Structure 1
Amino acid sequence: MKKSIQLKVKSNYAKNIKAGYPLIMEEAVINLKDVNIEGTIIELFDDNHHFLGKGYYGKQNKGRGWVLSQNQQETFDIHFFEKKLKLAIEHRSSLYQDSKTTAFRVFNGEGDGVGGLTLDYYEGYYVISWYSEGIYQFKNEVISALTNIVNVKGLYEKKRFASQGTYMEDDDFILGEKAPEPLLVKENDMNFAVYLNDGAMVGIFLDQRDVRKKIRDSYSNGKNVLNTFSYTGAFSVAAALGGAVKTTSVDLANRSKSKTIEQFSVNAIDFEAQDIIVEDVFHYFKYAVRKNLTFDLVILDPPSFARSKKHTFSAGKDYPDLLVQAISITEKNGVIVASSNCSTFGMTKFKGFIEKAFKQTGGSYAILEEFNLPNDFKTIDEYKEGDYLKVVFIEKKS
C-alpha cells in the first residue's frame, strides 16, 4: 500500500475542493514541499483540520495532482479502478454496440473520476494515455482492472509527460496482439486509418466525431471546402463523402500529405481530385487573397498553440485575427466552422472572438449551430476546464 501524506489547503481554495473541484493546484496547498515523489497518496485538509479529499500527487500542467475520492478510507487499488472503469464502460454501452462507429473515448479523466488518465477504444484495441508520472505509478492496478472487465485485443500506452526516468520507451505496445498498421476504424460509417504505435497522436481526433458527421450530412453537398490545420484530413474526408465538389487541405507538417492521401484512399475517394497542400496556413490565406480564391465552407481547427518559422499562434490571443483572414476568403452565405480545443476560455469568450472578427471586417453573420464534446468525452460541472471543445458554425451574411 502506498504511503499517504497529509496536506493543508489554503482557506480560499478549500471550498472549491469540498464542492468537488478535482484538480489540486500548486498555489492551493500550504505545505506542498512535504511531498516530492509522484504517485504519493495525499489527503487534503482545511484550516480547521476537516478532511476535504484524497488523491495522488502528480505534476500535470498547472496542477500538482488530482482528488479521486472524498472518502478518507478509500484505497486506490485494483477494485477502485475496476469500479471506475465499469461505470465508464456502461456509459459508452451504446457506442460498443454501434457497428458504424468503432473508435471512441472509453474513460475521460476527471469526467470519469480519475484525473490524469484517459482510455480510447479502436476496433477492439485500447490506448491508455498517462498525463503525469504520478498516475503512471498506478499502471499495474489500472491495466489489471481493465483486463479483468473487458476483452482487450491489444493494449497500447501514451506517456504524455516529460520524464527523466528510464521508462520512456519508443514502443507503446503493452500486451495482447499488435494492431495492424494501419488499423482501419469506423466513425459514423466513415473509414479512418490509425496507427496506435506512432507517437502521441494516432491519426484522428476522436472529440470531433459529431462535428465531422454534421459537416458530411448537412454542409458539404455541392460545396468548395477549405480545411485548414488539416492534420490527416479527417474533415476533408467527411466533406468529400458529403458531396463536396472539391476539398483543399492545408497543413504545415510534411507528413500531412501522405496521411491525408491515405484517409481519402481508405474511403475510396479519388485523392487526385482534391488539393492537399503542405504550407503554413497563414501563408496560404495570403496566397488565396492574391489569387481571389474563395470557398463555400472554411474549417478552422488550429492547435491551442503553434509555431512556424514566421508565425506564432496562441488561440487565446490570436483567434480573432485568424477568423478575419478566414472571413476574407469565405463566399457570401458561406459557412465557417470555427473550432478551438483551448481550455483557458469558454464558449462565451469564443463567441466574443467571432463578434470581434466580424466587427473588424465590417461584415455580418449568423450562428447556425454549436458543438461541445461528444457524450463519450464525459465532463463534470465542477471542472469547467474539462469541457474544452468549442465549435461554432457561422454563416457569413455580408
Structure 2
Amino acid sequence: MKKIILNKGKDKAAWQLHPWIFSGAIAQVHGKPQNGDIVSVFNQEAEFIAYGMYNGNSRVAVRLLEWDPQQEINEAWWRKRVAKAVNNRKALLTENNNTVRLIFAEADFLPGLIADKYADYISIQVHAAGTEAVKAIIVDELANTLKPLGIYERSDLKSREHEGLPDTNGLLFGQTPPNFVDIIENGISYQVNIVEGQKSGFYCDQRENRAITAKYTKGKRVLDCFCYSGGFTLNAFREGAASVTSVDSSALAIETLINNVRNNGFDVSKHQAVQSDVNKYLRDLGEQGEKFDLIVLDPPKYAPSRSSLEKASRAYKDLNRRGMLLLNSGGLLSTYSCSGAMDIDTFKQVLAWAALDAGKEIQFIHQFSQPEDHPVRASFPEGEYLKGLLVRVL
C-alpha cells in the first residue's frame, strides 16, 4: 500500500479537513508512490486520516480528497464530484448570464482543477499531477453533463512547474473555440478569447462587483484601470456613465474592449481606450491635472505568496495613492486585490496609508468579495482570494 505517515503533531489540519499536506509534515513514505498517485495518509498512531494525491516535487506534497476510508478514489468518485460541482452552479446560468465558474479547485473538493463555462464552450486549467492523471475522465463528464461545443485547456501556469508538469494548451473535446466567443454576463455581451486571452479567457469572479460599482456611475466621469476586456467599463456605460477612459497594457485586451463597447451599442464618442502601463498613465494624468468622479483599480496579483506581501503592500499603496489624487472631492475608488496572501484588514490598512500619503480623508462604504461560483470552503480559508473596497475620497 502507498502510505504517507505524518510527523507527530502535524496531523491536526488534516483531521480538520484542510486539503493540503506540506512536505515538511511527512515523516515516512511507503510504497514508492509516483507523482499523481493516490496515497493513504496516517498519523503516528497508524490512524487513517484521508486519501490524497501525492507529488514528491511539490511543496504541497499531498492534496487530500476523501476522509471516508470506505470510499474508493476511482472513476465513479471523480465523476460524482464533477457532477456535484456543476449542479451547484445551475441556478446561476440564465438568459442574462451564460458564463460561470463550474469548478473551483479545492473549494469543490477537486484540488488543482479550474473549469469555466463560456456560453457553449468550457475552458479548463489543471494545476496538479493527480488531477492531470484523471483529466480524460473529467473532460468526459463535463462533455456528457453540459454538452458543450468544445472543451479547451489553458494549463500554462506557474504552479504546474512546481508539480513537475509541462505547460499544455489545446483542444480536449469537440470544436476549437473561435477567436472570439460571444458570452453574456449581467445582460451585457462580451467577446472572449479563450485560446489566447488571460487566464482561462475572462474574469467572471468580478461579476457582482461590476454591477454594484456601476450603480454609482450615472452621469459620472469614470476611469477603468487594468480594464482587460471591459467588464467595469461596459457596466458603467449601461448605468449611464457620462464618459469612460479604459486602460490596459495588453493590445489584445484593448482590441477586445473596443469591440465589446461597439457591439453593445454604447456611444463610442464617450469612450477612450488607452494601451499603456497603468502606473505610468496615472502619473501622466496627475501631471496633466485630470480629475475623475469614479476610478476602478483592478490590478493583477501583486502578492503571489506571503513572502512577497511586504513588497506588494507598497505597490498597492502607491497605486491607490495615485488613484486618490485623481479623484474629485467626494469621488469614489473601487479598488481590489486578488492576492490571497493579503487579507481584507491588511488591505484596509494599505488604503489608509495611501490616503495619508495623498493627504486625503477616506471612508469605506462597501466591501467586495468573490461570487458564489467561487465559494470559500470552511476548512480552506486560503480559497478566499478576491477582496475589494468602495472608498469615498473626501
TM-score by length of 2: 0.90
- Of the structure 1 ranges 375-384 and 230-239, higher mean CA displacement relative to structure 2 is found in 230-239
Match for residue 179 of structure 2 among 178, 181, 186:
181
Q: Which amino acid aligns with 1:185?
A: I
Q: Does structure 2 conserve the Cα–Cα contact (< 8 Å) formed by 1:84 and 1:113?
A: yes
Q: 1:35 to 1:336 in 2, by over 3 A?
A: farther
Question: How much does 1:60 deviate?
Answer: 9.2
Structure 2: how far apart are the matches of 1:234 and 1:200? 14
Q: Which amino acid aligns with 1:119?
A: A
Structure 1: how far apart are the matches of 2:124 and 2:367? 29
Structure 1: how far apart are the matches of 2:293 and 2:257? 21
Structure 2: how far apart are the matches of 1:34 and 1:226? 58
Structure 2: how far apart are the matches of 1:207 and 1:110? 16
Q: Which amino acid aligns with 1:196?
A: I
Aligned: 1:227 with 2:230: no
Task: Show the counterpart of 1:162.
Answer: 161
RMSD: 2.5
Q: 1:11 to 1:344 in 2, by over 3 A?
A: farther
Q: Does structure 2 conserve the Cα–Cα contact (< 8 Å) formed by 1:193 and 1:203?
A: no
Question: How much does 1:164 deviate?
Answer: 10
Please list the CA deviations of residues 289-328 of structure 1 after superposition, one character each: whole Å capped at 9, or x if unmatched: 111001111111111139xxxxxx9534421222111111
Match for residue 18 of structure 2 among 5, 18, 21:
21
Q: Secondary structure at the match of 1:358?
A: helix
Task: Show the counterpart of 2:128.
Answer: 132
**Gap regions ≥5 residues in structure 2:** 304-309
TM-score by length of 1: 0.89
Q: 1:231 to 1:199 in 2, by over 3 A?
A: closer
**Gap regions ≥5 residues in structure 1:** 307-312
Q: 1:382 to 1:290 in 2, by over 3 A?
A: same
Aligned: 1:100 with 2:99: no
Task: Show the counterpart of 2:115.
Answer: 119
Q: Which amino acid aligns with 2:367?
A: E
Aligned length: 385
Task: Show the counterpart of 1:362.
Answer: 359
Q: Does structure 2 conserve the Cα–Cα contact (< 8 Å) formed by 1:55 and 1:65?
A: yes
Task: Show the counterpart of 1:337.
Answer: 334
**Percent identity over paired residues:** 24
Task: Show the counterpart of 2:189.
Answer: 191
Structure 2: how far apart are the matches of 1:242 and 1:61? 47
Q: Does structure 2 conserve the Cα–Cα contact (< 8 Å) formed by 1:23 and 1:115?
A: no
Q: Which amino acid aligns with 2:262?
A: S
Task: Show the counterpart of 2:61.
Answer: 64
Structure 1: how far apart are the matches of 2:57 and 2:207? 26
Structure 1: how far apart are the matches of 2:57 and 2:116? 20
Structure 2: how far apart are the matches of 1:395 and 1:149? 45
Q: Which amino acid aligns with 1:264?
A: V
Q: Secondary structure at the match of 2:161?
A: coil
Q: 1:34 to 1:324 in 2, by over 3 A?
A: farther
